[in-house]
Each structure stands twice: as structure tokens, then as C-alpha cells.
Amino acid sequence: MLKNYLKIAWRSLIKGRGYSFINIFGLALGLSCVILIGLWIKDEWSYNRFLPEANRIYTIKNNALRNGEIHTGDMTSAPLEGAIRSDIAEIEAVTKLGYSPSLLFRTRNKSTKENGFYVSSDFFKVFGFKVLSGDPNRALATIDQLVITKNVALKYFNRVDIIGKTIEVDNKKVYTIGAVLENIPHNSTVQFDWLLNFKINEQDWMQRWGNNSFLTFVKLKPGISEVQAAASMRDIFPRYAPDLKFTPVLQSIKDVYLYNRFKNGHPDGGRIDYVRIFAILAVFILFIACINFTNLATARSAKRAKEVGVLKTVGAPRKILIAQFFAESLLTTTIAVVFSLIMVRLTLPTFNTLFEKELSLNIDSPLFLLSILLLIIATTFLAGSYPALFLSSFKPINALKGISFAKRSAIFSGMLSIRKALVIFQFTLSILLIVALLVVGQQMSYIQQKNLGLDKENMLYIPLDGELHSRIETVQQEVEKLPAVTAATSVMMLPMDIQSASGDLDWEGKDPNFETLVTVSEVGYNFTKTMNINILKGRDFSPEHPADSAGYLINETAAKYMGMEDPVGKEISFWNGKQPIIGVMKDFHMESLHAPIKPLILCFSPENSSYMMVRTKPGMIKKALAELDGLVKEINPNYPFEYHFVDETYEQMYRSEQQVNLLAHYFGILAIVISCMGLFALVSFAAEQRTKEISIRKVVGATVLHIVSLLSRDFLKLVIVALVIALPLAFMVVNTWLDGFEYKIDLSWGLFVLATIISISIALITVSIQAIRAALANPVDSLRNE
């Protein structure tokens, strides 16, 4: 029976080749988008979930009250780890990660820089990364052994069984390789090439409870809930640092990647927003493709009325007819799925390159095959239900006896209403996408062009390795003497990505119950001059005023935070002790535009710097690089010359948004194309149904413009209805998305006018192409047989 159904379905597809092609190609295009989006969502959802017992691993964050709101920070203080280990019985293991520097690795044959972490000894009791050889726990228990990944092992030794081999690090010390790990999966938020014991790099300033510069992770004991562990940790700060009003909170390692934005102490979105958006987009695209199928099937139903009448006359029950039409839907969907899988296979390499993913089609996977089967079933049901139920409902007498135009209109009035509703729904989704694409594009342009409060043009930075760090003040002086350089300064953290925070701030008149949390960095001389940041009051750290080096430089938000109208000269207590404020900078963005500008305090401490920021003269980048290369090789010959441009680093901060923007544009445009294909096919079929009417009108004097108007106006009315529905919905949707940015574009009426013009233009062009073709046809060809 199924064989007969499929045979009849195949004949039906062949009979209407043109419409079948549009149906299958549109459906295949839509399904390709759905499969690609599905693979992307699966990858996004997989972050950190591969870890053994991931449901028991949590990261510790800090909640602090500021300006009446709870602010959540990713960084914690170094002593917190020890307090948790000794005091919290619900914790099985705890580890902290220091900053992630690039260290120079050297063997006899190779010398390159590798990224990694200084971690505490229980790292592998928390993170179960796959071990290829050695004992990583024993390696991290000492200060003489090193843990590396497979990539590093192959790069320096061409094999992984290298336990006991040695490697020189940073031209300072030779470490023994104690363990080799499998390469860290791309879907891990903790990425590294090497690990060393935290004690190797431990310094006095790291013991401050108010210095939040480290990541802390814990593994709960079996059967312990997040609520229980969090309750036990509430007393840590009152017990060890009563002056700091911090509250440790837990976040599951499985949520770190997707929920990276907090509001009032609770997760409030982040990457999960994009996952939801693209999941909805996939559903939209599937609906749009299925609507095309449904509309074309019902539009062609008049031609199949006699087929239904004959089958019913010879005794075919309705359920047999329903099965027949579902078989046609199943065949069309299956063919479309095959084509879509071919499309996905061909586009995946380009997709992975564009979006920096490692997606693959695991056709042999039972889960993948089940997903494809469910997709076929869902699409068959969505696309085939209405045509099957409608066509099978025809009465044999009406189908066989030659239906008059009036009767046919009555019979198909319900079908026409459904078809109109489907076209409206389809274009409502398309208009939503058009508005979303315009808003996302404008927001991304706004981010790239917004004045950050510092000048990122003609700026680069170099890591301070080896002699560059030990002779930092001499290096700065020599760099500033270079003919192509305007200014230079040293910094602990890059100014556009300052993550360190502290609760150690105090000042005269401060409310004792006021919980402070300020962003902090350590810098050298001429910071504002190099970064081109305006000084509102006072002055910068300068070698001309060496006594100022004990003071503090703050931004205007910090001044407001402390309630100081004229802060220069007033003393505050912070990392350098009780010292005066020497200057107030104009606010600049030190984080992504998702976050508001925070109070910032800069301390003079070039010895703790990690980078040298260098401003070059306009148009002299190449000359400056050549001069810096020569200077670095002279002072630091054992290290390669490494540099990075500030504007490129800043763009990398928004790489995620840029990729999502690109992804949205590609899939959004494809969804609009699929809608246009369906509209084109409907107009084509309408023109075919009205061929004789059009011919007669032309014979009695109707112009091409009149014929085009006749065929176009009904469809354009539907698009206008879709606009009325879609624009308010679009406003709410894009406004909600923009709320995730602290700094964003204003939604103007002009943007929605532009979306309206684009929508009507797309529909008009699509309809007119086929309408003009029908209007230009020779009426003799259609009337000669009458």
C-alpha cells in the first residue's frame, strides 16, 4: 500500500515539475537552515557539559551592594580558596586560577610562547580533563613540575610519552613534565596549554581579601545542593574580612558560558539569549518553508478535485485519501531533507571558518538519525496536514460534474481564507526578521563607532617579558625616545578590559554600612597621555612629579561614587595606604558596552605591569614597529618581539556579537528568500488560473499596467496587513534585545519606515516579475482553443 502511495506521489511531483521544484528547493533551503542552527545550538549548549560530574562543579562569584543594586563579579580573592577548603564541609574540592600569562617555552629545537594558568593543587580534583600520561595531581603538588597538553607535547617533542622530560620556561627555570593532557575541548570555558602550581607566582598583594583578581571553582560533595553550599559560605567574609560586605554565590559550570550576565545578584541572560533567538529563528524558517508547501498544495487543489472525485466514486474512504496526500508530503519532505543534508555538508567548512566553530554532521550517530527522523515527521505533519484534510473533504459530485466559477468560488472560499492567513503569517515573520536585521546591524555599527573615552587608533601594546619587565622604567624611557612614538605607559591590565576589582576603598565621611566595590588597575607614568584620556581635574602620574606616585588617579564615576565634588587633594585609603587623589579622568569604557562604566582607581605601580602601551605618530605604524623590534631585541634578545593592535583587541571583545550578527543576517536573508519563493509560486499559479481572463481583458484593451495591478494588489494587501501586525511585535522584540546593552541605539520611527519600504519593495518585486510575464503573454495562445 505504501509503495502505491509513494508511486502516485512521485507521478504527482513529476506532473507539476515547476511547482515541485519550488516546493522542494524552498523546503530544502529552510531545512538546511534549521539543521545548521540546530548544530550551532547544540554546540553552544555543550559548553562544559563534557566534564565528568559537571553537575557538581560550580564557580564562585562575588555579590556586592553598590548604589542600591547588587553587582556580581566573576573574580574572587586568593585567600577565599583556603577558607572554603578549611571551613565548608559541603565542598569536596576547591581550586583557584591565577591570571593567564603567555610564557616562553624553550627546548633545544623550538622556542615559542604558550598560554596557561597558575592553579592551586586541587585543580584536577575539580576538573576531570582527560589525562594521556603522568599524574597531574602529583605534578601540581610540587613547584618543579609542569602539566601540558597534547598539542604542546607534539610541538616540542613530537610525541606524548614524555614524562620526566624537561622544558625551560621564561628563560628562568627548567621544569619537569609531570603529566600530558588530551587537548582541551573547544567547548570548555577554561582554555590552557600548560598549568603550574599557584605558589610559583604567589606574591604578597595576592593575600588581600579585598583584591578580586582570581577565579575560584568548587566541587560539591555528592548529595549536596547548591543552596546548602551557598548557605554555608555566607559567613566567610564576616569571619575573615568583616569590613568587606561581599557574599559568595555559586554558579553551575554548565551555566557559565550561557548565563554570563547578572542583574541584582541573579543570572539575567547572556549567550543564552542568542540561543533562544536562533531557536525561534529556526522555528520561523521551518514554518515559512512549510507554509510555502501548504499554500502551493491548496492552490493546486482545484486541478486535483476530479482525481479526488474519481477515487471517492470507486469507493476510496477518506482515510485512504488522507494517507495518499500525507505520502506526497512525506516524499517531498524526504527528498528535501536529502538535498538539505547535501547543502549542509557542502557549507559546513565555510560555516565553521566564518563562525569559529567545529561543527560536524555525524550521520552515523543514532541521536542525529533520530533528530532527522523527527524533523521529517514534524515537517510532513506541518506541511501536509491542511492539504490532506482539505483535499480529502471534496464531495464527488462537485468534483466531477464541472464546477461553475461561482460554485468553485464558494467551495474554495475557505481554502482562500486559509491561504491568505498563511501568507500574512509568513510575511509577518519575514518583516520581524527585516526589522531585527536592521536593528542588530545598527547596534553593531554603534558599538564599533562609539567614542570610548580613549583613543584606540595608532595604539599597540607589547607584553613585558624578561628584561622588559625587570627594566620597565628604562624601557618606557627608551620607547618614548623613538622618533615614531608619541607616548608610552605600562599597565597591569589592558585599559579596555580591566577585570580586577577591590572592596578595600575607604575615605573620610564614608558611611560604615556602605559596601564598596571598585575596579582597579596598576599603571606607570603618562597613562592618560598615552591613552588620550582627558584629565578633568589635577594631573596624571608623571616623572616630573615623583611624589605623586604614592597617590591615586580616579575616574569621574569614582568621584561621584564617593560623593566628592572636588576630590583632588583629598585622601583615600586604598592599596598604597592613605594617600591623596592627584587627578580625575573623564570616564572611559574599560569593559564591553554591555556593562556600565564603573568606579575606577589607578595606582602607580609599574613593577606589577604586564604590558607596555605605545601610541605611535599617525601614519608611522610600520616605522614604529621596526623601531620597537630593534629596541626589544637589544634589551630582551631571548624573547621574540610580540605586539598587538588595540583596535583589533577591542574588536575581539565583540567577536561574539559580530558573529551572531553575521549569522542572523545570513539566516534572516535566507528566510526572506524562502518567503519570496512561495509568494512567486502563488502569483505564478494565480496567473495560470486566470490565463483566459487575462487574455480576454487584453483583447478588450487592458494595459500591461492594469493586468499587473490586477494580479498584484491582492497580494500586496496581505503584505500591508502583515506590516500592521509585525511592526508592533518587532518593536517589542528588538527593544528587549537592546536592553541587554548598557549603551545602545535609540529606536527611531525612521527605522520602521525603512523596514516597511523594504518589505513592500521585496513583495512588489516578487509579485511583479510573474505578473508582468503573464501580462506580456500573447492572448492568442490561450484563446485559440476556445
Question: Among residues 381, 379, 415, 382, which one has the least CA distance to residue 305?
Answer: 415
- Using CA atoms, how far apart are residues 574 and 271, in angstroms rounded to an integer? 35
214, 77 Cβ separation under 8 angstroms: yes
> Of the given ranges (78-82, 573-577, 610-614, 691-695), which has the lowest mean pLDDT?
691-695
Task: Say which residues have a Cβ less than 8 Å from residue 246's Cβ, sequence separation at least 6.
Answer: 62, 63, 64, 237, 503, 515, 517
Across 400-420, average pLDDT: 50
Cα angle: 376, vertex 378, 379; to 5 degrees:
65
Question: Among residues 514, 513, 521, 596, which one has the least CA distance to residue 554?
Answer: 521
Q: Enumerate the H helices of 392-496 as residue ranges.
A: 396-400, 405-449, 467-470, 472-481
Longest CA span, the chain? 105
Count other C-beta atoms under 10 Å from residue 752's C-beta.
21
615, 459 Cβ separation under 8 angstroms: yes
- Quick check: 203 pLDDT over 70? yes
267: β partners: 262
pLDDT, position 386: 63
Q: In angstroms, what CA-CA distances link 439 with 267, 451, 664, 734?
A: 25, 20, 11, 7
- Using CA atoms, how far apart are residues 381 and 326, in angstroms rounded to an integer? 8
pLDDT, position 297: 64
Question: Among residues 412, 386, 414, which one has the least CA distance to residue 399?
Answer: 412
Range 667-677 burial, b when 16+ CB lie within 10 A, else e: bbebbbbbbbb
Q: In angstroms, what CA-CA distances link 169 with 38, 174, 175?
A: 43, 6, 7
pLDDT, position 118: 93
Residue 49: phi and psi, rounded to 5, are: -80, -10
| pLDDT: which is higher, 314 or 133 | 133
121, 252 Cβ separation under 8 angstroms: no
pLDDT, position 4: 59
| pLDDT: which is higher, 211 or 779 | 211
**Helices (H), strands (E): how many in the chain?**
25, 27
- Quick check: 185 pLDDT over 90? yes
Beta-sheet strands, E only, within 67-142: 69-73, 91-97, 102-106, 111-119, 131-134
- Quick check: 697 pLDDT over 80? no
- DSSP code string of 598-620: --EEEEE-GGG--EEEEEEPTT-
- Using CA atoms, how far apart are residues 97 and 719, in angstroms rounded to an integer? 56
The single residue listed with the C-alpha cell 601594546 is 461
> Of the given ranges (64-73, 427-436, 570-579), which has the lowest mean pLDDT?
64-73
Q: What percent of the chain has pLDDT over 90?
A: 31
60, 256 Cβ separation under 8 angstroms: no
SS (H, E, C) 539-554: CCCCCCCHHHHHCEEE
> Of the given ranges (135-139, 614-618, 756-760), which has the lowest mean pLDDT?
756-760
Q: How far is CA 410 from the centre of its chain?
A: 51
Per DSSP, 744 falls in state -
pLDDT, position 628: 93
pLDDT digits (tens, 9 = 90+) for 102-121: 888 988 878 888 999 999 98
Q: What percent of the chain has pLDDT over 70?
A: 83
- Using CA atoms, how far apart are residues 294 and 546, in angstroms rounded to an integer? 79
pLDDT, position 406: 41
Q: In angstroms, what CA-CA distances link 284 with 187, 197, 563, 635, 663?
A: 27, 51, 51, 60, 15
- Quick check: 82 pLDDT over 70? yes
Own/partner pairs, 654-661, CB within 8 angstroms, 24+ separation:
654/444, 654/447, 654/448, 654/592, 655/356, 656/271, 657/444, 657/447, 658/444, 659/354, 659/355, 659/356, 660/274, 660/440, 661/440, 661/441, 661/444
C-alpha cell at 134: 603522568
Across 535-558, average pLDDT: 89
pLDDT, position 407: 45
> Of the given ranges (475-484, 670-679, 688-697), which has the lowest mean pLDDT?
688-697
Do strands 600-604 and 518-523 pair parallel, antiparallel, or not at all (unpaired)? parallel
C-alpha cell at 170: 621564561
Across 757-775, average pLDDT: 75
pLDDT digits (tens, 9 = 90+) for 277-330: 888 888 888 888 777 777 766 655 555 555 666 655 656 666 766 777 777 778
- Quick check: 73 pLDDT over 50? yes
